[in-house]
Homo-oligomer: A and B are copies of this chain.
Amino acid sequence: MDPARAFVKDVKRVIIKVGTAVVTGTDGRLALGRLGALCEQVKELNSQGFEVILVTSGAVGVGRQRLRYRRLLNSSFADLQKPQLELDGKACAAVGQSGLMALYDCLFNQLDVTSSQLLVTDSDFKDPDFRKQLSQTVNSLLALRVIPVFNENDAISTRKAPYEDSSGIFWDNDSLAALLALELQADLLVLLSDVEGLYSAPPGEPHSKIIHTYIKERHQGEITFGDKSRVGRGGMTAKVKAAVYAASAGTPVVIASGFATNSIVKVLQGERIGTLFHQDAHLWALPKEVGPREMAVSARECSRRLQSISSEDRRKILLDIADALEANEKLIRIENEADVAAAQQAGYEKSLISRLTLKPGKILSLSKSIRILADMEDPIGHVLKRTELADGLVLEKTSCPLGVVLIVFESRPDALVQIASLAVRSGNGLLLKGGKEAMRSNAILHKVITGAIPDTVGEKLIGLVTSRDEIPDLLKLDDVIDLVIPRGSNKLVAQIKESTKIPVLGHADGICHVYIDKSADMDMAKCIVLDAKIDYPAACNAMETLLIHKDLLNSEGLNDLVVELKGEGVTLYGGPRASIAFNIPRAHSFHHEYNSMACTVEIIDDVHAAIDHIQHYGSAHTDCIVAKDLEVAETFLCQVDSAAVFHNASTRFCDGARFGLGAEVGISTSRIHARGPVGVEGLLTTRWILRGSGQVVDGDKEVVYTHKNLPL
């Protein structure tokens, strides 16, 4: 949880201010759906033991709508020909107030909650006895679990618009809410608005973003307010004024959306939504400055510097990182052991603890692989294509870093080292978001690695995102992050793919097939199938479905294979044909990844049926044919449209290290950009560099295009 939101655990009494825009919307129509949902939230909080007080606006709007309708009913046709006078605001308030309160009463009644009405005016507050009485009344109501609903008594108030006189005690419902927050000693004031919170600039401006924690010293004067909303008296300026006032007097305030689902409940659970105003906000100012957005921006700046230094200097950084890791091996092991001990104590499962542990020799092998990476050909600035467009006009397509890459990984601290060194090699900025269970290991590894990055580049090239910024927040930063690489469970990958506009490099499913053709050498088939299934059943490149040519049914080789699979402990599930042929249970679906000692088996007619099956039920990861007939094999290799297609080799070979790519950032089943096992090249893109001597297009009247390929 954001430390700035930790105070919510002590909140008991909360005031919720419901703005005009929430009650009636910008079209002036009563928003019954929103009000109903609001009452559901109040009920929820009330039954959780919170003391909830409402301050509502919207009576004037409700009344105006009603009175217009009433006037229409009472008008003759002749009346309607006359110019229509604007309705009296006081009359609207009087009519609207009773309607609005009746509505709250009805809604709350349905939820077995009792509400009460408290209408106050500015001048009431001038009387100290009134203040005392008000407090007592509210306390009594709250003790009975009744919801007090406040509104300014507009119908009889003698104050006049624009209400901005500084002499007043309050001048709109925002400041009334702030005043009540202090009078009634609320622990939190929530101002519901028609936007998510306070933004740094009007939307549409580049880099305009929501401010989650308002810091007076930093934000005052920095924020550009847009036009205030057209309904109600308030607008964002009034809200901020009221919020600053209440917060500085000791009651924290959150401006949040009254349109979003369950926003008040989320605020009270400490979720980082809306904008918080808190008198101690400046204390949390420092961590805010290195929030993920700022980290991404810094990482991009550093990556630009990393690109501009010489290839030899980049190599040197990698060698320094390798040395630093070795020099700090003891320290790293101590921190890692602390993580492992904590995980054991917390009762994490064994497989997680095994992935968390940096085994003896691991640091050495990591630093060794970094030195190999350092000695690889520099991938940045490669001229991939050089063309003379016209005389003296030369175009180059050159490789360059993507920009900023976010890695979300679970457990394995060695992944941090691998990916950080790949990022340096490819010139990218990097944000790392690791799992809590590896917190100390990640912190020390990050410190050691960034310590080896020279000031000419800047250690902010690699940012370690600490746990207070949750993954959903990071995934929103599509304007400053270019690629996300999830390293973890399929569930993690699927969730990330579902919830971000940033391109994701990875694969959600690994439903790999082995097809045994009738021409297969059955001994070879047996070896490949056994390896593909049992070498590492939890791997994404393990076989999940075995397809068998129909002519092999009842052959000795196939029977052997089935017996051996069962003998190794593999549970078989069958498609409609195989379940009968082998007397095995029916598979629930062909589109299923077991990730364990189990697989689906089906009998099919020929290679074309195999291709169709894979196309329909596969996940385009890795698929294999076992066949002696080369023509059949080529048909399979040509027509199966997966990231990796194998002939007579185990699906387990689909791996960056086995493919000789050096370090691997992951395996991608996307068709866009890198596909299959991805090494450095997946972190690169290209730029077009054109060098001329003053050429212009001018309608292409004079340019003589040569389009001559030049040597690289």
Contacts and interface: CB of A to CB of B under 8 A. Distances in A.
Contact of A304 (B207, B641, B675): B641
Contacts of A13: none
Given A102-B106, A205-B591, A699-B535, A690 B647 contact: yes
A7 interface: no
Interface in A364-397: 381, 387, 389, 393, 395
Interface in A653-695: 653-654, 658-660, 670-673, 675-677, 685-695
A687 B641 contact: yes
A644 interface: yes
Interface in A17-73: 29-40, 62, 66, 69
Contact of A110 (B103, B403, B697, B698): B103
Contact of A643 (B531, B687, B703): B687
A639 interface: yes
A495 interface: no
Contacts of A307: 638-639
A136 interface: no
A691 B637 CA distance: 9
A646 interface: yes
Interface stretch (A316-324, A335-343, A354-362, A520-528): A520-528
Contact of A687 (B395, B648, B675, B688): B675
B696 A652 contact: yes
Contacts of A692: 646-649, 653
A400 B645 CA distance: 12
A111 B107 CA distance: 14
Interface of A: 29-40, 62, 66, 69, 99, 102-103, 106-107, 109-112, 205-207, 300, 304, 307-308, 381, 387, 389, 393, 395, 400, 402-403, 482-483, 503, 521, 524, 527-528, 530-532, 535, 589, 591, 611, 615-617, 635, 637-639, 641-650, 652-654, 658-660, 670-673, 675-677, 685-700, 703, 705, 707
27 contacts: A30-B40, A33-B34, A33-B37, A36-B37, A103-B110, A206-B616, A304-B615, A307-B638, A307-B639, A400-B641, A482-B671, A483-B671, A483-B672, A503-B672, A531-B696, A643-B687, A645-B690, A647-B690, A649-B691, A649-B696, A650-B695, A652-B697, A653-B692, A658-B703, A658-B705, A675-B685, A676-B687
